[in-house]
């Protein structure tokens, strides 16, 4: 396989971060991302002694929309997709959830869509079963933010009954308080009102939420990282074990085909665009400086990869399942 200069740079950086794990293979984006739906919906890799399992929930083949990126045209976004080896026919937004196993402790990051987001998603439960993970054994769920594709899996369709009643739900206090403060729903834009209504009807009565005030350690080796902008309390989670580190970036870098080369692009999904850009650059710069691997909820499955600096932006190299 021939790698371009930029792929070689990222592959080398990633190799340095992950030198000992031979199960990860680098592929040029053109080959890695051509077929978005994976044949196997789970994938396991190691961060030191911690085991990470990526579980595929599905993909939203979003029709192009001029409002999707505030400061780029549809043509520019199509061009970025093609450069990453993706189709230009639609905006591919895959969704992957990770389960982290540290010792005998099982933690999940976000909950997927619960089949209540896009009809093409909702595969998480089946893929969890295929991976041999018992949902009843998940003791902790770390929640990045309160968007449907990340929290609807916590609530059953129709009844809103908790899917994981015994799990501790850890969330940034800023996020929880922003969504549930009195008068919030009325202030939300129309399109977000149903989400706000559901959150306020369900979450305040749940007893298993644990609100985190600072960038605290939330489990041994796992620390909350503030990455606001996408939502007011959007959080990433930093995992370290031995000499290896993983940044669970959630929606900070959203679809890297767009935001690696153009970190300055502001998505319609970013509530505070300029702050989202600032958080994105800060997080990716840290990941590069500390030679970490990174995963993201909307990265191409299995949702992990490496970043390298590339001019004023970044180059992203995904790992192949």
Name the strand (E) or helix (H) holding 147: none
Stretch that binds Zn ion, among 76-84, 101-109, 179-187, 245-253 (CB under 5 A): 245-253
Residue 7 or 252 having the CB closest to Zn ion: 252
Check residue 251 for interaction with Zn ion (CB under 5 A). Answer: yes
Nearer to Zn ion, 97 or 288 (CB): 97
Least distance (Å) from Zn ion to the CB of residue 147? 5
249: left (phi over 0), alpha (psi -120 to 50) or beta: alpha
- CA-based nearest residue to 143, from 190, 206, 90, 83: 206
Based on CB atoms, which residue is closest to Zn ion, 45 or 299? 299
Give residue for tokens 């929930």: 57
Q: Mask 189-218, x = binds Zn ion (CB under 5 A)?
A: ------------------------------
Give the E-state strand segments of 173-242 in sequence order: 209-212, 217-219, 222-226, 235-241
The one segment of 67-75, 120-128, 142-150, 210-218 that binds Zn ion by CB under 5 A: 142-150
Map residues 145-174 to x or -, x wherever contact with Zn ion holds by CB under 5 A. ----x-------------------------
Q: In this structure, are residues 317 and 14 in contact, taking their beta carbons and an 8 Å threshold?
A: yes
CB of 297 to Zn ion, least distance (A): 5
CA dist., res. 288 & res. 238, Å (int):
14
The distance of closest approach from Cβ of residue 259 to Zn ion in the complex, given in angstroms and rounded to an integer, is 13
Least Cβ distance, residue 241 to Zn ion (angstroms): 26
Closest approach, Cβ 6 to Zn ion, in A, equals 26
Question: CB under 5 A: which stretch of 4-12, 75-83, 108-116, 250-258 binds Zn ion?
Answer: 250-258
Nearer to Zn ion, 149 or 175 (CB): 149
112 conformational bin, left if phi > 0, alpha if psi -120 to 50, beta if neither: left
User: Contact at 8 Å (CB) between 145 and 279?
Assistant: no
Residue 62 contacts residue 88 (beta carbons within 8 Å): no
In the complex with Zn ion, the residue whose CB is nearer, 192 or 291, is 192
CA 235, distance to chain mean position in Å, is: 10
Instruction: Please give the C-alpha separations between residue 127 and each of 41, 54, 93, 133, 311, in angstroms, as whole numbers.
Output: 5, 9, 18, 9, 38
User: What x-and-dash track marks residues 65-104 binding Zn ion by CB under 5 A?
Assistant: ----------------------------------------
Number of residues that bind Zn ion (CB under 5 A): 2
202 within 8 A of 155, measured Cβ to Cβ: yes
- Smallest gap, in angstroms, from Cβ of residue 38 to Zn ion? 18
Q: Please, what is the end-to-end C-alpha distance for the chain in angstroms?
A: 17
Q: Which residues contact Zn ion (rule: CB under 5 A)? A: 149, 251
């Amino acid at each position: 396989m021939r790698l371009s200069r930029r792929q070689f740079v990222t592959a080398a950086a990633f190799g340095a971060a992950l030198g000992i794990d031979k199960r990860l293979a680098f592929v040029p984006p053109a080959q890695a991302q051509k077929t978005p739906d994976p044949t196997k919906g789970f994938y396991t890799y190691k961060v030191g002694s911690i085991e990470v399992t990526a579980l595929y929930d599905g993909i939203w083949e979003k029709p192009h929309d001029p409002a999707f990126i505030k400061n780029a045209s549809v043509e520019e976004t199509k061009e970025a997709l093609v450069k990453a080896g993706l189709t230009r026919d639609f905006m591919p937004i895959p969704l992957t959830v990770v389960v982290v196993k540290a010792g005998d402790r099982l933690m999940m990051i976000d909950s997927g869509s619960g089949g209540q987001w896009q009809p093409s998603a909702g595969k998480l439960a089946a893929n969890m079963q295929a991976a041999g993970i018992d949902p009843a054994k998940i003791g902790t769920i770390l929640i990045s933010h309160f968007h449907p594709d990340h929290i609807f899996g916590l609530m059953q369709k129709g009844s809103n009954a908790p899917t994981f009643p015994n799990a501790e739900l850890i969330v940034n206090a800023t996020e929880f308080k922003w969504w549930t403060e009195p008068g919030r729903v009325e202030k939300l834009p129309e399109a977000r009102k149903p989400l706000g209504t559901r959150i306020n009807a369900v979450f305040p009565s749940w007893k298993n939420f644990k609100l985190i005030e600072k960038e605290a350690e939330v489990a041994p080796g796992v620390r909350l990282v503030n990455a606001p902008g996408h939502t007011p309390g959007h959080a990433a989670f930093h995992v370290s074990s031995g000499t290896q580190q993983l940044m669970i970036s959630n929606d900070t870098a959203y679809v890297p085909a767009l935001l690696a080369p153009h970190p300055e692009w502001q998505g319609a999904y970013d509530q505070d665009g300029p702050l989202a850009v600032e958080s994105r650059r800060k997080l990716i710069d840290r990941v590069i400086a500390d030679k970490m691997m990174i995963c993201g909820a909307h990265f191409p499955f299995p949702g992990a990869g490496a970043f390298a600096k590339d001019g004023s932006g970044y180059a992203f190299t995904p790992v192949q399942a």
